[in-house]
């Protein structure tokens, strides 16, 4: 086989790899008008200019690598049973189906092995491809209304997204650290648990495969002025596991001035691996000064079905 043939074959192989990489950057958009924009030199500046330029309702999106084995997908019907994390789980339909990203009454579900808050999905869409492993990239979508971001949503890259006839501005080659900075800038200073922009921004940060994400979540959990934001950040810190996660969660339980944040931090302990979480929950249930916090720890110990929790309950019931 000639050297010339090998050269051509190698070139074709490189082109094929590049083609796959470019394709991975593109979302599976249906029922929408997509305009692709070159990689911005400064994401925040480019994003702000795009937002201010939109006279009509528009979606702006990009893709970034996702951490862990995550799948953010939609069910083709609005039914399902809710687990304690707020996710809607259904055995009737496969994942992923097509996701209707425009606001609707139907239900979409983002799952990290059963633990991510849901959004709205598509009732009539056909199921998309079913993967044996979680996605390696996610699509982050921003809904812009009256030149302001109204909602932030994240999906697995293989999910088909029904844009509801809206314009979609797609940004290529966004760097994860810049994405995290942009998302943090959209989190309100004083907000409540119904703020879809802040909640969407925190959950998207939590799914970034970048060390900046962990540092950002820890800072939000410790320093943000809103109890709702601190509580959401603590949940996502728990998904990181490790010493940094444990320290941040226990600090919130011991030091946060808001009881609801303390209770959400107790829930975050239940999300840690049982080898770490169960002993910490037992410690909180034994020793914490706040009765509501102790009660919350006991509740999650009961849900753990761990032998150590059973022994603890037997001990206190003697």
Which residue, among 77, 104, 106, has the nearest Cα to 91 in the 3D structure?
A: 77
Q: Does 182 have pLDDT greater than 60?
A: yes
Q: Looking at residue 271, what is its pLDDT?
A: 92
Q: Looking at residue 73, what is its pLDDT?
A: 63
The average pLDDT across 134-157 equals 90
Which residue, among 177, 137, 180, has the nearest Cα to 25 in the 3D structure?
A: 137
What's the distance, CA 44 to chain centroid?
20
- The mean pLDDT value of the chain amounts to 78
d(CA 96, CA 132): 11
Q: Does 20 have pLDDT greater than 80?
A: no
Which residue, among 60, 66, 72, has the nearest Cα to 141 in the 3D structure?
A: 60
DSSP E strands, the chain: 28-30, 33-37, 58-74, 81-82, 88-89, 99-100, 108-111, 135-145, 148-156, 160-162, 167-171
Q: pLDDT band at residue 260, thresholds of 50, 70 and 90?
A: very high
pLDDT in tens, 209-226: 999 999 999 999 999 999
Please tell me which residue, 78 or 150, carries the higher pLDDT value.
Answer: 150
Q: Does 64 have pLDDT greater than 90?
A: yes
Q: Looking at residue 25, what is its pLDDT?
A: 59
Give the side-chain half-sphere CA count within 13 A for 38: 1
The average pLDDT across 43-55 equals 92
């Amino acid at each position: 086989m000639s050297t010339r043939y090998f050269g051509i074959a190698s070139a074709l192989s490189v082109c094929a790899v590049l083609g796959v990489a470019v394709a991975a950057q593109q979302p599976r958009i249906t029922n929408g008008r997509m305009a692709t924009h070159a990689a911005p030199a400064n994401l925040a500046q480019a994003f702000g200019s795009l937002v201010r330029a939109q006279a009509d309702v528009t979606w702006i999106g990009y893709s970034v690598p996702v951490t862990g084995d995550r799948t953010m997908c939609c069910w083709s019907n609005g039914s399902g049973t809710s687990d304690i994390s707020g996710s809607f789980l259904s055995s009737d339909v496969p994942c992923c189906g097509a996701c209707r990203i425009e606001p609707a009454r139907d239900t979409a579900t983002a799952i990290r092995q059963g633990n991510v808050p849901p959004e709205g999905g598509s009732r009539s869409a056909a199921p998309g491809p079913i993967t044996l492993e979680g996605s390696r990239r996610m699509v982050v979508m921003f809904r812009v209304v009256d030149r302001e971001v109204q909602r932030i949503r994240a999906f697995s890259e293989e999910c088909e997204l029904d844009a509801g006839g809206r314009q979609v501005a797609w940004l290529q080659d966004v760097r994860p650290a810049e994405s995290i900075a942009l998302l943090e800038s959209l989190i309100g200073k004083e907000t409540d648990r119904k703020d879809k922009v802040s909640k969407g921004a925190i959950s998207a940060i939590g799914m970034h495969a970048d060390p900046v994400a962990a540092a950002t979540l820890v800072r939000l959990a410790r320093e943000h002025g809103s109890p709702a934001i601190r509580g959401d950040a603590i949940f996502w810190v728990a998904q990181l596991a490790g010493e940094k996660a444990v320290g941040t969660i226990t600090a919130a339980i011991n030091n946060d001035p808001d009881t609801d944040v303390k209770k959400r931090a107790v829930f975050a302990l239940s999300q840690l691996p049982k080898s770490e979480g169960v002993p910490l929950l037992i410690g909180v249930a034994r020793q914490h000064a706040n009765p509501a916090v102790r009660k919350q720890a006991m509740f999650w110990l009961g849900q753990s079905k761990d032998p150590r929790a059973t022994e603890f309950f037997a001990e206190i019931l003697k």
